[in-house]
Amino acid sequence: MITKKDQCFYLSTKNTTYLFSVTETGHLEHLYYGKTIAPDSINLEALSEKRSLPIGTGTAYDNAHKTLFLGNLCLEYSTMGKGDCRESSVDIEYGRGMHTLDFTVKDFRILQGKPRTFGGLAESYGDKETCTTLEITLKDTCLPIRLALSYTAFEDSDVITRRSTLFNDSDRTITIRNLASLQLDLDEDDWNFVTFDGAWSRERYQHERPLMPGIMINDSKTGVSSAEHNPCVFLTKQGSTPSNGECIGCNLVYSGNHRELVETSPYGKVRLLTGINPATFSWELSSQDRFQSPEAVLTFSSLGMNGASNNFHHFINNHIVRGPWKFRERPVLVNNWEATYFNFSEDKLIALAKQSAELGAELFVLDDGWFGIRNDDTTSLGDWTVNPKKLPSGLSRLSLEIHRLGMMFGLWVEPEMISVESELYKKHPDWMVAIPGRTPSVGRNQHLLDLTRLDVREYLFKILSDTWHLADVNYIKWDMNRTFSDLYSANSEIHNHGEFIHRYVLGLYELLSRLTAAFPNVLFESCASGGNRFDLGMLCFMPQTWTSDNTDALCRLYIQEGTSCGYPLSTMGSHVSASPNHQTLRKTDLDSRFNIAAFGVLGYELDITKLTRQQKEAVKAQISFYKAHRAILQFGTFNRIKLANSSSNQVVWLVHNADKSELLVLFAQKLNPSNPGTDKLRIEGAHLEAIYEVFPRQQKIDLKSIGDLINQISPFAISEGSKTQDALSNAVSLDSEIEHYRVSGELLANAGIKLNQQFGGTGYNAETRVLGDFGSRLYIFKRIN
């Protein structure tokens, strides 16, 4: 709901209130963002900044308002040159290096629903029943420039989205240096700033630091939203716990360079800005033209980061992801990449596919290497036609075989790239992003295609749609494996290369809109060397994202946990891969790899034809378990209870259905604590009136994992690494512990269950929990009353 009373704008969602007012000078003073305050208890006098005296050395707004210091007001937007020396949300250079601006309110309107944006940005959507929009128009007091601020309140998700639009009503071109999507000023500084940082194969590790006087920046200058710093950030009240305490979350519906800046002022006020990164941006705005910022997404919860994450999850599932796959359960896939890399034949793929179908997989994905003459990563990007040497019967034949096996067929592409060794480069060298006369830098032996150009996009649309029709695809993995360098375009529309990256993003979105509209039933998964572009912009086109190339069970605890803070499980591609893991060489047990991958969209990415009989049985059981619980594992309510990202050796995650009649709990340990103490499962989120049956998913324990201790019970000697050990481990495995409880939700929430003892070197029986290093269990809680 959004209303205006007296000079106060009142925005509300199910559990939150957002308030700001118009000052006597026409500026917008931010008053409050937090838990619901009823409209009739709003007291403007109590909420407004007191200003009966001037501030020492401060610059007052003007002679008529000697105690109005914009530099110490919480504001909804800010400019330079009128006394507010904090980082501003709007910066325009309008002539001879001048930047001073002063926007004051002229007009506003409140609409049910959410009007569509212009200019090709990705954006959220909502109808008249779910959201309300406020648009406020401000005008500079001297110049013919207008700024429009737009707020959409999504009642059901406890989310408010925001964006800014600049209108150049003057008769000359002005240069936009910065236009933040959102400014949020807070009047207390006892917050922690939480960001998700990393690199290839260690994406979105959570970091938290207390605010200090001055500026902290989380940004990307790589050209993509990046694994280095994701655009999703949080402010958590110091002293809060994962499920308790005030938390503000902020994200951006954008896939290019972004910046989230937090500034703590000398007066203890905090300013949060998010938007396109001004460090790599400038935009020439012609006379009578307008420019719109990407949409920012804001949420508040008093239930800590879990509460704020749940709001984001709801918002993304309901208002970002679209199309037939929105709430459709996502298929279990098998991808051939780590099974074969570039080295595959038709026979090998069919063998993999047959085995996949037997184990219960529903989608077979052919990854890199099927096109051009590509046998390694040095050639052929751009030549999206089948390699006849590798696939003599063609893509359509392979797809037919896969479909005959009862599975969907998926294909990998990396359309935004070009290899110098390609037919495409021979024909169109100027389509490659490079600066004439300067040797271009190179990433993974490849270069960017200039997506700002219409002819490039036309080429891609045609060749991709022809191939996808031919191959009758059901799924596309859209990859993007390098960051930007040598920015230059021969596109005559670009006069200022500060526009390049934003125009590239708009070009990408245009291409994706056309392709997703042309293939409405295809499931798209976005990827960028794993999770280098995991953002809300891509999720507007593709319902899921490959979370990371790193599928090591231990690393995945950190990666998936960090990612889940901003994004729902339905968006996170998670695969079981080989052990030792290809990124870390760490050995982990097959069931623990599954237990962690199950918290997301499950897939397998290893040579399943080479698994032992025991392992195949285990995988079959995993897939059937996953399918039975998939609705919860993809679309349930997810909470982090014990964090990987903490000093705790244990990690506990919870996902449950809406009425809490079914809960699934991951219990994982980082290392095996020798002679361990008692492990306890306390689930505060259980339904207090429920009675639950609680038991672990049955797992197989590989005989090899107990090493030569086997000789304690074996009638014949078995040495490590011997053929006998192999044969035995192929034929038999141990069952995991038997453990079963019938307990009340009250007991679970307040006391918890003391679990069976872990193996501690003193013996073993049917009740012993053998977890080892990086081991885990998945507990099932079923309500029975």
Catalytic (active-site) positions: 479, 549
Of residues 535 through 554, those in contact with ligand GLA by CB under 6 A are: 546, 549
Q: Which residues are annotated as a binding site?
A: 200, 367-368, 444, 477-481, 527, 549
Binding residue (CB under 6 A) for ligand GLA from 132, 529, 634, 639? 529
The CA distances from residue 535 to 439, 527, 566, 637, in Å, are: 31, 11, 9, 20
440-479 footprint of ligand GLA as x/- string (CB under 6 A): ---------------------------------------x
- The tokens describing 489, both together, are 């375009």
Identify which of residues 83 and 530 has a Cβ nearer to ligand GLA in the complex.
530
366-405 footprint of ligand GLA as x/- string (CB under 6 A): -xx-------------------------------------
Identify which of residues 447 and 777 has a Cβ nearer to ligand GLA in the complex.
447
User: Could you tell me the smallest distance in angstroms from the CB atom of residue 583 to ligand GLA?
Assistant: 11
241 residue type, one letter: T
CB-count exposure of residue 517 (10 Å: 0-12, 13-18, 19+): exposed
Q: Which residues are annotated as a binding site for substrate?
A: 200, 367-368, 444, 477-481, 527, 549
Question: 742: Cβ–Cβ under 8 A, 6 or more apart, which residues?
Answer: 691, 692, 693, 694, 784
CB-count exposure of residue 385 (10 Å: 0-12, 13-18, 19+): middle
Of residues 4 through 23, those in contact with ligand GLA by CB under 6 A are: none
User: Could you tell me the smallest distance in angstroms from the CB atom of residue 651 to ligand GLA?
Assistant: 25
Q: Is 638 in the site for ligand GLA (CB under 6 A)?
A: no
Q: How many residues bind ligand GLA (CB under 6 A)?
A: 11
Question: 616: Cβ–Cβ under 8 A, 6 or more apart, which residues?
Answer: 355, 359, 608
Identify which of residues 375 and 661 has a Cβ nearer to ligand GLA in the complex.
375
User: Could you tell me the smallest distance in angstroms from the CB atom of residue 528 to ligand GLA?
Assistant: 7
Task: Give the DSSP H or E segment for 460.
Answer: helix 454-471
Q: In whole angstroms, what is the distance from residue 271 CA to residue 254 CA? A: 21
- The tokens describing 145, both together, are 């420039």
776 residue type, one letter: S
Identify which of residues 94 and 370 has a Cβ nearer to ligand GLA in the complex.
370
Of 166-174, 288-296, 323-331, 523-531, the window that binds ligand GLA (rule: CB under 6 A) is 523-531
344-373 footprint of ligand GLA as x/- string (CB under 6 A): -----------------------xx-----
Of 9-17, 105-113, 352-360, 525-533, the window that binds ligand GLA (rule: CB under 6 A) is 525-533
Buried-exposed string 590-610: b where 16+ CB fall within 10 A, e elsewhere: bbbbbbbbbbbbbbbbbbbee
Identify which of residues 180 and 413 has a Cβ nearer to ligand GLA in the complex.
413
Q: Is 87 in the site for ligand GLA (CB under 6 A)?
A: no
Which of these, 84, 123, 513, lies nearest to 293 by C-alpha position? 123
Q: Is 337 in the site for ligand GLA (CB under 6 A)?
A: yes
Of 45-53, 253-261, 526-534, 556-564, the window that binds ligand GLA (rule: CB under 6 A) is 526-534
Torsion of CA 638, 639, 640, 642, to 10 degrees: -130
User: Could you tell me the smallest distance in angstroms from the CB atom of residue 368 to ligand GLA?
Assistant: 3
| HSE-up (13 A, CA, CB side) for residue 164 | 24
Of 68-76, 524-532, 697-705, 748-756, the window that binds ligand GLA (rule: CB under 6 A) is 524-532
CB-count exposure of residue 691 (10 Å: 0-12, 13-18, 19+): middle
Question: 579: Cβ–Cβ under 8 A, 6 or more apart, which residues?
Answer: 586, 587, 588, 589, 590, 593
- The tokens describing 587, both together, are 């050995």
Identify which of residues 186 and 361 has a Cβ nearer to ligand GLA in the complex.
361
Give the nearest residue (CB) to ligand GLA: 368
Phi, psi of 708 (to 5 degrees): -85, 5
Pairing of strands 16-22, 8-12: antiparallel
Of residues 410 through 429, those in contact with ligand GLA by CB under 6 A are: 412
- The tokens describing 382, both together, are 């751009």
Identify which of residues 401 and 479 has a Cβ nearer to ligand GLA in the complex.
479
Identify which of residues 90 and 333 has a Cβ nearer to ligand GLA in the complex.
333
Q: In whole angstroms, what is the distance from residue 283 CA to residue 286 CA? A: 9
User: Could you tell me the smallest distance in angstroms from the CB atom of residue 608 to ligand GLA?
Assistant: 17
Q: Is 527 in the site for ligand GLA (CB under 6 A)?
A: yes
Cβ neighbours of 249 (radius 10 Å): 26
User: Could you tell me the smallest distance in angstroms from the CB atom of residue 601 to ligand GLA?
Assistant: 14
- The tokens describing 557, both together, are 């605890």
Identify which of residues 412 and 653 has a Cβ nearer to ligand GLA in the complex.
412
User: Could you tell me the smallest distance in angstroms from the CB atom of residue 349 to ligand GLA?
Assistant: 15
The CA distances from residue 754 to 244, 662, 681, in Å, are: 24, 20, 7
Binding residue (CB under 6 A) for ligand GLA from 481, 547, 577, 650? 481
Q: In whole angstroms, what is the distance from residue 724 CA to residue 395 CA? A: 43
Task: Give the DSSP H or E segment for 2.
Answer: strand 2-5
User: Could you tell me the smallest distance in angstroms from the CB atom of residue 414 to ligand GLA?
Assistant: 7
Of 250-258, 511-519, 527-535, 556-564, the window that binds ligand GLA (rule: CB under 6 A) is 527-535
Q: List residues near ligand GLA by CB under 6 A.
A: 337, 367-368, 412, 479, 481, 527, 529-530, 546, 549
